[in-house]
Amino acid sequence: MYLNVTAPVRPRKWYQMLIHNLFHSDYDDRVEEVVHTSRNSTKALCAEFDNPRLSHYLQAAVRQTVHLIAEGLTVRQRTKDLKFFAEVMQAAFKEADHQTAHMLHCALTHPSLRDIVIPKRMVPWFQNIGSHYGAPVYEKHVHFWRTVRSDQILPSVIAFNTFKRRRRFMGRMSEVKEANEHMELFKYLEHDKEDLLPVYTRCQGFIAAQRRFRNI
């Protein structure tokens, strides 16, 4: 068959499974699971934009993610964990879940994780995401939102919340109103409050739930 350039006839399902097995792994499945769960969590978080505890949620998520990685007993383990979450960060960014991507970028670049060397192939990910939102004011991200016409693109709640607080401090209330109006929409889009990950609201719950991803 091969010498005659005639492909063997097999069910399409067989072919799909072959490709899946060649290029897919349990590691990929774990990354995809976290990306999917985090995306649903972002939808729930967006709907909490006027929650008085929002800033606490955002700070807790970064702090607890850092703690999860930093508690690794060896540099090798910490590097392994950072690489895993960097994969999640990049996948979330590509799928336009800006909250997950931004939160993980903040955590993975935290000073307490400086002993971990970021793999060369991942350095461009960090550079791209680091420059994407326009820190420290995040005006760039809010202005980008004026052009968004799809509810499949999820905002960085960190960026919107920081922008809102800074503009309120400066007395620029028209911009505060604009940020609120952009985020108001997410209250009415499909979401489930129960999807909000414990990383935002509880410490041990998140850490216990994520430890299983270390067996990779």
Which pLDDT belongs to residue 1?
36
| 17 within domain boundaries | no
Cβ neighbours, 10 Å, residue 65: 23
| 202 within domain boundaries | yes
Please, which residues have CB within 8 angstroms of residue 137's CB and are 6 or more apart in sequence? 162, 163, 166
| Beta bridge mates, 97 | 154
Which pLDDT belongs to residue 16?
53
| 2 within domain boundaries | no
Report DSSP state, residue 118.
P
| 19 within domain boundaries | no
| 45 within domain boundaries | yes
What is each CA distance from 113 to 67, 103, 107, 109, 195, in whole angstroms?
9, 15, 9, 7, 28
Q: Which domain holds residue 102?
A: 27-214
Please report, in tens digits, the pLDDT of each residue of the chain (216 residues total).
333 333 344 445 554 554 545 555 688 888 899 999 999 999 999 999 999 999 999 999 999 999 989 988 899 999 999 999 999 999 999 999 999 999 999 999 999 999 899 999 999 999 999 999 999 999 999 999 999 988 899 999 999 999 999 999 999 999 999 999 999 989 988 889 999 998 998 754 444 445 544 554
Distance CA 53, CA 31 (A): 29
| 61 within domain boundaries | yes
Which residue type does 136 have? Answer: P
CATH number of the domain residue 36 falls in: 1.10.840.10
Which pLDDT belongs to residue 73?
87
Which pLDDT belongs to residue 203?
53
Cβ neighbours, 10 Å, residue 210: 20
| 9 within domain boundaries | no
Which pLDDT belongs to residue 195?
92
Which residue type does 58 have? Answer: L
| 49 within domain boundaries | yes
Structural domains in the chain (count): 1
State the angle between helix axes of 75-94 and 98-108 in degrees (0 to 180), rounded to the nearest 10. Answer: 160
Which pLDDT belongs to residue 143?
92
Joined tokens for residue 136: 């420290």
190: left (phi over 0), alpha (psi -120 to 50) or beta: beta
